[in-house]
Amino acid sequence: MDALATYALRLGDDSLILGQRLGEWCGHAPALEVDLSLTNVALDQVGQATHFLGLAGAIENAGRDADALAFRRDVMDFTNCLLVEQPNGDFAQTIARQFLFSHYQALLFEQMARVKDERFAAIAAKALKEVSYHATLASDWVVRLGDGTEESKARMVAGLDWMWRFADELFVMDDVDAAAIAAGAGVDKSALRAEWDARIDAVLADATLARPASRRPVLGGRAGHHSEHLGHLLSDMQFLQRAYPDATW
Amino acid sequence: MSDPSKEWPLWEVFIRGKGGLSHRHAGSVHAADAKMALEHARDTYTRRMEGVSLWVLPSAQIVSSDPGDAAALFEPAEDKVYRHPTFYKIPDGITHI
Amino acid sequence: MYTTDLSGKDKNAAVAGVAEDPALIAAFEARVAADEFIEPKDWMPEAYRKTLVRQMSQHAHSEIVGMLPEGNWITRAPNLRRKAILLAKVQDEAGHGLYLYSAAETLGTSRDEMTEALLSGKAKYSTIFNYPTLTWADIGAIGWLVDGAAIMNQVPLQRTSYGPYARAMVRICKEESFHQRQGYEIMMHLAAGTDAQKRMAQDALNRWWWPSLMMFGPPDDKSPNTEQSMRWRIKRDTNDELRQKFVDITVPQAEAIGLTVPDAALKWNEERGAYDFGEVDWEEFYAVVKGEGPVAKERMQARQKAWDEGAWVREAARVHAEKRAAAKLAAE
């Protein structure tokens, strides 16, 4: 896969894995309305995954469509960031993941909606509306839980603490990013960090929460070196396609 | 046992279907505060592009007429047909009126 | 929907033991017979209110518990399109439960009270959801058969006499129109697929057929509430009428995709212009109603877990809203 296809693949994998995680909530949320909210976010992510993986397959031009990419690759070939594959945990942990990721996605797609490559720009422009809402929704929950009860605050702190080590990976640049920028499709993610910090900090302040202490970042997702969680997620998600390789659905 | 004071309050949801139309009652949601009520209304009632604008208001704030007063409130209008344009006979051939 | 006056639930009700005013009852019955809608603040017999709350909350519970068997396959849906469809469908069920709870709340019963009645086993829900989803074909069978049967029950309810219920049903029926089609499409695809997929499809039909027929409720001669419910326009067709209609519509759909309905007694009756079909195992039905369905325990465990684990979230949001409201007041 060339750099541009890999770039699309990473975007698709991020959305796919997060959509998969959010789908696990369906039917089990703290309130009926929240169930609907989380599933809306899941649906948006699955939609983004479909577009970006489809684009990756088209650029690769080797006969793999979005489904082939989603359901017929093993852990090493998945390029999502480690943040999105983290387990749901309790509601606070899920919100922490969503909060950190949606603000990143919103900043990323704001820029990507303006890139020269219309394929990327079009998907980003559509997705931007979705993820802006996700960022608001997640931020509001961070504030409610952070400035709610003693228990909810403790859980929100723990949720952020779990996720924080994976935040730096979102902004790491490598050869694939450089090539995508050169091709008029990519975004300089390192330039998003300051604004991301500002947005995160503003919400945390409103939530009466301290910013988690910096720590050694955990990296590797973009290179296929994942957490233990991803393999289990894939074995569940890919079960039918693996058990019945000659079937279509 | 459930404690009604602990339940998220109920909000009524009104949706403007498209520009130019008035908001119309769509249903209700439970939410702890106004912002959450708007988010819940959006996530529950506009999943199929039902609207371009939302109103939510606490159900407890609605004041409604008493069905027992319906006769006194609404029936006196029945014989005031002169409020409707079709009450007036205009000869054929007169236009723009 | 409308104001929910939880404190005033007995305002219109007959005080226990005191008979309701016959003139009020007669006026009410006349309105219903004339197909007028009854609205939350209108006078209604206490038995009507009770029947409605029971029926609407049962219906709402069925939607919510009904999310679980299909939710079981969301993470394993075989491709991205099917995953999105299934997510949207199960989400619709959450929405439908919400609409129905809201409609029931107009009669003065809170959602929390109804939820607790479900979790304590006091309230019932559709027996169909106490059967397990074993293969992907079950997702097809549920959409095709279970939603098909549900739609047949629900379409007449759009004209039910209680306004909020009727309006909720209008919205639900509109949204559900894709549910049955996506299920049939799954079955169609499987039935035309590999041998393993065909086997999966037939097996799902075999397991879901009879429970689907049970969804219409006991036979008319064993359904004591039917007559009054029909008079009150809470129900608009009898159980057996709807069951017959379902069989007549569904059998040709099965044949069209090469699946066999698992009923040796099934035969077209030229004279009646309808299918004759075998007897439902009513003993199984009543056992499942009593909570002895194969996965009844798993379903209630899942609902209880979501309720318990969500408690701190609901509480946090409530406390947060109070804090912010107090701070705003202090600032003014």
Percent of chain A scored above 70 by pLDDT?
A: 100
Nearest to C142 by CA among C102, C192, C196, C89: C89
Mutate to test the interface with B, among A34, A36, A206 (most CBs of B within 10 A): A36
pLDDT tens digit string along B2-14? Answer: 787 899 999 999 9
Residues 163-182 of A with CB under 8 A from C: none
DSSP-derived letter for residue A148 is S
Confidence check: pLDDT of A5 > 70 = yes
Residue of B nearest to C6 (CA): B4
Residue of B nearest to A133 (CA): B39
Residues 117-156 of A with CB under 8 A from B: 133, 136-137, 140, 144
Of B32, B35, B39, the CB nearest to A37: B39
Can you give the pLDDT at residue B1?
60
Rounded CA separation A48/A80 (Å): 13
Mutate to test the interface with C, among B1, B3, B7 (most CBs of C within 10 A): B7
pLDDT tens digit string along C171-213? Answer: 999 998 899 999 999 999 999 999 999 999 999 999 999 999 9
B18 touches A: beta carbon within 8 Å = no
A240 touches C: beta carbon within 8 Å = yes
Cβ–Cβ below 8 Å for B43 and A32: no
Q: What is the mean pLDDT of residues A149-173?
A: 98
DSSP per residue, C72-83: TTTTT-SSHHHH
Rounded CA separation C325/B50 (Å): 31
Whether the predicted model's global pTM rises above the 0.80 cut? yes
Higher pLDDT, C251 or C5: C251
Can you give the pLDDT at residue C44?
95
Residue of B nearest to C114 (CA): B2
A148 touches C: beta carbon within 8 Å = yes
B74 touches C: beta carbon within 8 Å = no
List helix spans (H) across chain A: 3-23, 32-60, 66-71, 82-85, 91-112, 118-146, 150-164, 175-182, 193-206, 228-237, 239-243
Of B3, B28, B36, the CB nearest to C102: B28
Confidence check: pLDDT of C244 > 70 = yes
3-state DSSP assignment of residue B12: strand
Q: What is the mean pLDDT of residues A187-191?
A: 98
**Cα–Cα distances in Å, from C173 out to A95, C1, C54, C153, C156?**
33, 18, 20, 10, 10
Contacting residues of B for A37, CB less than 8 Å apart: 39-40, 43
Can you give the pLDDT at residue B37?
98
Can you give the pLDDT at residue C15?
46
B69 touches C: beta carbon within 8 Å = no
Distance from CA of A33 to the nearest CA of B (A): 6
Residue of A nearest to B44 (CA): A36
Can you give the pLDDT at residue C17?
53
In chain C, where do the E strands start and end? 267-269, 274-276
What ipTM does this complex have?
A: 0.97
Can you give the pLDDT at residue A112?
98
Distance from CA of B89 to the nearest CA of C (A): 34
* Architecture in CATH for domain A3-210+226-243: Up-down Bundle (1.20)
Contacting residues of B for C171, CB less than 8 Å apart: 27
- What superfamily would CATH give domain B4-61+69-83? Phenylacetic acid degradation B (3.10.20.520)
Q: What is the mean pLDDT of residues B31-44?
A: 97
The mean pLDDT of chain B is 90
Contacting residues of B for A136, CB less than 8 Å apart: 39
pLDDT tens digit string along A55-64? Answer: 999 999 999 9
Of A33, A136, A137, the CB nearest to B31: A33
Residues 46-75 of B with CB under 8 A from A: 47
Can you give the pLDDT at residue C224?
77
Distance from CA of B52 to the nearest CA of C (A): 18
Q: What is the mean pLDDT of residues A36-63?
A: 98
Can you give the pLDDT at residue C234?
81
User: Which H/E stretch holds residue B71?
Assistant: helix B70-74
Confidence check: pLDDT of A22 > 80 = yes
Confidence check: pLDDT of A210 > 70 = yes
Distance from CA of A40 to the nearest CA of B (A): 7
Rounded CA separation A19/A52 (Å): 13
Mutate to test the interface with A, among C312, C322, C323 (most CBs of A within 10 A): C312
Phi, psi angles (nearest 5°) of residue C270: -60, -40
Rounded CA separation C287/C293 (Å): 7
- Between chain A and chain C, the number of residue pairs with CB atoms below 8 A apart is 144
Contacting residues of C for B33, CB less than 8 Å apart: 317, 320-321, 324-325
Cβ–Cβ below 8 Å for A149 and C315: yes
Confidence check: pLDDT of B77 > 70 = yes
Q: What is the mean pLDDT of residues C275-281?
A: 97
**Which pairs count as long-range contacts for B21-25, CB under 8 Å and 24+ apart, including other chains?**
B23/B53, B23/B54, B23/B55, B25/C1
pLDDT tens digit string along C111-168? Answer: 999 999 999 999 999 999 999 999 999 999 999 999 999 999 899 999 999 999 999 9
Name subunits touching C (3+ CB pairs < 8 A). Answer: A, B
Higher pLDDT, A41 or C12: A41
Cβ–Cβ below 8 Å for A140 and B29: no
Rounded CA separation A193/A196 (Å): 5
Domain boundaries, chain A: 3-210+226-243
Confidence check: pLDDT of C2 > 50 = no
Q: What is the mean pLDDT of residues B72-94?
A: 85
DSSP per residue, A182-227: HTT----GGGGHHHHHHHHHHHHHHTT-PPPPP-PPP--GGGT---
Structure tokens at C218: 């006991």
Contacting residues of B for C98, CB less than 8 Å apart: 27, 29, 44
Distance from CA of B4 to the nearest CA of A (A): 15
Rounded CA separation C217/C215 (Å): 5
Can you give the pLDDT at residue C8?
39
Confidence check: pLDDT of C283 > 60 = yes
Mutate to test the interface with C, among B29, B59, B61 (most CBs of C within 10 A): B59
Can you give the pLDDT at residue A61?
98
